[in-house]
Chains A and B, each alone.
Chain A
Amino acid sequence: MQQIRTTADLERLRGSLLQKGDPGKILIRICNTGCRARKSAKVIEAFENEVREQGLQDKVEIKKTGCHGFCEMGPIVVIEPENIFYCRVKPEDTGDIVSETILNGGVVERLLWKDPDTKKFIKCEKDIPFYKKQKKSISFNCGRIDPTDIEDYIAGGGYSALGKALTTMTPAEVVEMVVASGLRGRGGGGFPAGIKWRLCSAAPGNIKYIIANGDEGDPGAFMDRSLMEGDPHSIIEGMIIGAFAIGARHGFIYVRQEYPIAIEHLSIAIQQAEECGLLGKDILGTGLDFTIKIDRGAGAFVCGEETALMISIEGRSGTPRSRPPYPAIEGLWGKPTVLNNVETFGNITKIFSKGADWYSNIGTDNSKGTKIFSLVGKVKNTGLVEVEMGTTLREIIFGIGGGIRKGKRFKAVQTGGPSGGCIPISRIDMPVDYDSLREAGAIMGSGGMIVMDESSCMVDLARYFIQFLLFESCGKCIPCREGLKQMHHILTNICEGRGEHGDIETLTELGRFMTTTSLCGLGGTASNPVLSTIRYFRDEYEAHIYDKKCRAGVCKNLFEYYIDEELCNGCTLCKVKCPEGAITGRKKKPHMIDPQKCIKCGICYSLCKLEAVRVR
């Protein structure tokens, strides 16, 4: 690999890479990260075989990219330069794509994205509403470049931000530029990144560390995963800039072990950066020495908390410690440490390549830039979306997400994972930024956005999060350990039909107590899911407690399945599959469920194609 010793080397390499690229070539971009869950590896293999068999190697380039964002439609194949977007591609479809699109310049209509409202096929990626309304900046490279090839990143302008920061600025100027950009941490709390850097660079000591937090523990959020898998170099570049600013020589990236592809791609990226001389000694001839090591998490949610994460890197069981001293003063092994989310480092790279003014012009007064959200749950279009801060919830859920599935009604959106809260329909026109979300009882968190419809039970959701946190609480401080236990106990009682008068008040009191007295952020925000659902969906709690009814059909003891006689055609599928023999009825005649025998396993409900099995 070519050595990059100065910024001139970097520019020369970029120039030669751009020259080498053949603009007449047809480019097939296939997701090789998120879509692997949908067997995109087989699609890639089929394309490679097809191209080889047809002798098109000189005309066609197959690029294995990161995530395109529209994960629900995977595996996704985009063909350039025409920007044709094929979704749900199977290996057997590759022959048609090659013969129709690549050889004849036509389109395979059945593989295009079909607008569920207008029933029209849309040909180009850029015209699909899901993409059209986004503002891709941090995730721009995901789905475009080959994350396992540093040259592809450099050709697209990569590492120029690093060159600019290292050769034309002093460390203090770098810190001040981050402060001026107004960037707030993307991990959850939204603490200004520049202030953290300033604190750390001013802290006494020769040894300092920089850590990228890729322990994306929030269930329902996967944008960090996508960034680590799809554009690992942007994170590394941001970290090197940070190391220069604060004077760190060693860096760590802490990645969840549930993300094997992220670990693989980051390892490749680090190795390639080392081989080129962009990591290691005397980076770009500026005298900066910096190395990065990857640490795998071992499945503990609390390790996403900064002090716990550092203790985990030190090789102990990750329990948080009290702050102050803040990690910027006393962090990893007692040395000043900057810890930022991986997405924050992606933002840093953008700030230095495009300027602090450009960055601070995007977003709202107090929340700058763009944010990637994982839009999942009951929306039509699920996946990763990147929007400007301040975009309304309505625009995200109905504009980009296409509204609620199966014609159901929107109920609430949960943001911020287990530390966040639920936002009801009445606040759908709220702008999404750090402060508005906090005011509404939720938090930005890492960017999970889980949309719920009328079939989601808010009490069950609150119980789910509390149970999650109960298992993940490290047990060090009493308010969190015992408070969660009590909350879980009360919520379980409510969900199982043993709710009592006064439960709601007890939950509220417990929640407030935990918020003010817990040791770390986990306990401090743990009651948010409960408090926010009580705030907006008190009637649902009351229906569970007083009427013993779960209208959403989630809490087992509080509803029953029945078969709508008018809809049932007597296909006997449910009767055959029922493990308890609770369904009776003759062929082609409406069936019946015996509520005494029914264990509410949901098999009949999930299998009935006519939706004749219902909840009451």
Chain B
Amino acid sequence: MTGCQWTRVHRIFTKRRLTMDLKKVDSILKKHEYRHSEIIGIMQDVQDIENYLPEEILRYISEKLELSLTRIFDIATFYKAFSLVPRGRHIIKVCCGTACHLAGAMQNLEQIKRTLHVREGETTEDRTFSLETVNCLGTCALAPVVQVDEDYHDAVIPGKIDKILAIYSSKDER
């Protein structure tokens, strides 16, 4: 994790803001039978609903499970799938698998960065897009692949990035 991200994590962790109904968290905890070993699954379920891991929910989980916050923080920062900062309405995942890399994934990634003025792991100021990279989406025959939300865009070239992004920004306007 870069220094910049740490600062942001710190900022988020010091800012209190309640978003998710804690009853929902209770039902997730119940589903996992309050087991310590299930902590990764619990956090994944929270993130599935919230799109990220809000601090107050992590604190709540820590209290309920009697599990130290440091261990939760350790997990949240170790696994790539977790985000401690709110993410955008649309999540762009640029596949950086070997097949995609050879087919020009890096040029696509750079073009997206230039277009949106964000780096990997960041969200645009208007919260429309979050840019992420992923090791491999397992759709190697369609390389290079860019996934936006649930849609896969195959054989992407830098010249088509603006068109792909426009689909989602115009979706929001409607």
Contact = CB atoms under 8 A, between A and B. Distances in A.
Interface of A: 34, 37-38, 71-72, 74, 216-222, 225, 257-259, 295-301, 312-318, 374, 376-378, 382-383, 414, 417, 448, 450, 452, 456, 461, 464-465, 468, 472, 474, 577, 579, 601-603, 606-607
A536 to B, nearest CB: 17
B139 interface: yes
B108 to A, nearest CB: 9
B79 A300 contact: yes
Contacts, number: 153
A222 B98 contact: no
Interface residues of B, number: 46
B137 interface: yes
Contacts of B139: 34, 37, 71, 222
Given A217-B135, A448-B98, A376 B39 contact: no
A37 B152 contact: yes
Nearest to B82: A298
B19 interface: no
A219 B136 contact: yes
A314 B98 contact: no
Query: Counting chain B CB atoms within 10 Å of each CB, which of A219, A377, A378 scores highest?
Result: A219
Contact of B71 (A222, A316, A376, A417): A316
A577 B159 contact: yes
Contacts of A220: 97-99, 136, 140
Contact of B140 (A313, A382, A602): A382
Nearest to A317: B78
Contacts of B97: 219-220
Given A37-B154, A296-B44, A71 B99 contact: no
19 contacts: A219-B101, A220-B99, A222-B139, A258-B138, A298-B82, A301-B135, A315-B40, A317-B79, A377-B98, A377-B99, A382-B141, A456-B102, A461-B101, A579-B114, A601-B114, A602-B111, A603-B111, A606-B107, A606-B158
Given A221-B140, A295-B40, A417-B98, 17 more contacts: A34-B139, A74-B142, A219-B96, A219-B98, A225-B138, A258-B134, A296-B44, A298-B44, A299-B135, A316-B74, A374-B140, A376-B99, A378-B102, A448-B98, A577-B159, A603-B159, A607-B157
B130 to A, nearest CB: 15
Contacts of A301: 135
Most buried by A among B38, B137, B145: B137
Nearest to B156: A606
Given A312-B40, A374-B140, A601 B99 contact: no
